[in-house]
Amino acid sequence: MHQSASLVAQERPNPRAWQRAKLVFILTFVLLGTWAGYRAIAAGLFQAQPPLIVGPFLETSITDATSGQSSIWVLWETPLDGIPQAEVQYGLDAGSLILQATGITTGTAGNSHMHEVQLAGLQPFTQYYYRVRTGAGDSDFSATHRFVTAPLPNSDTNFTFVTTSDEQPGEGNATYNRTIAYRVTDEIVNQVCGTAAACPDQMALLLSAGDNADQGGIYDEYKPWFDSRQVLGQSIASITALGNHDYYLDELEVRNWRG
């Protein structure tokens, strides 16, 4: 009798153990949900906001030693029917973008327009604010972003830059490419800046040795890389080299890489 009662008592669930198990389950569910939500939000923040397809992105920030003046290129991509001309408004005050520059617009292999504008005659190692035209209306502009121009070549100014390469997909696998590109961007933010918002103050240049597409002739293979770099590229200038994969299927013109 006592032995039977003892066995029954041992088999009976421990209420405290069940409470702990339920708590662990709930916390795990919440954490997984939070992580999934973070990735969804991050993807939305990283990608260009409509009607922009890509960008704006900053390229080739230089300061001329002779003139002492700086320049930088601004690039962005829109639908074919989006913009009458490539236009950037910029200035030293985010609330007063009183300067304007225009550039060129060309078609891409993705049935869209790529816009390129050079901002010249800038002060070296100085913060500027800018926005790009996204449509034909008077108020059709992107959000306002910022950047810091390059220092004088002969100055003692210290700066940080990051070099990456080979973020292309394997065998045209866009999902793999998206995973790699976002992970690299996450590591740049975590290792150098702490937060994405702090990166423009912590980093001066992004260098890429190329191969950001497996087959450069396939337009869509570059999109995950641009999406993942959006949060950095709108405020930090990039210089990107050609890799051998950027030539694949487009050996003569490398149109997508140029875009």
Predicted confidence (pLDDT) per residue in 142-199, tens digit: 999 999 999 999 888 888 899 887 776 655 555 555 577 788 888 899 999 999 889 9
**Same-domain check for residues 105 and 188:** no
Under 8 Å between Cβ of 85 and 174: no
Clarify whether residues 253 and 183 are in a common domain.
yes
Judge whether 207 lies within some domain.
yes
Domain check: are 30 and 108 in the same one? Answer: no
Q: Is the model's pTM score more than 0.85?
A: no
10: containing domain: 2-46
C-alpha closest to that of 186 among 212, 205, 167, 211: 167
Residue 153 lies in a domain: no
59 is a domain residue: yes
Q: What are phi and psi of 161, to 5 degrees?
A: -135, 160
CB 55 within 8 A of CB 82: no
What is residue 108's predicted lDDT score, i.e. its pLDDT? 74
Segments of the chain scoring below 70 in pLDDT:
1-50, 82, 109-110, 168-178, 214-216, 246, 248-259
Asked if residue 156 belongs to a domain, the reply is no
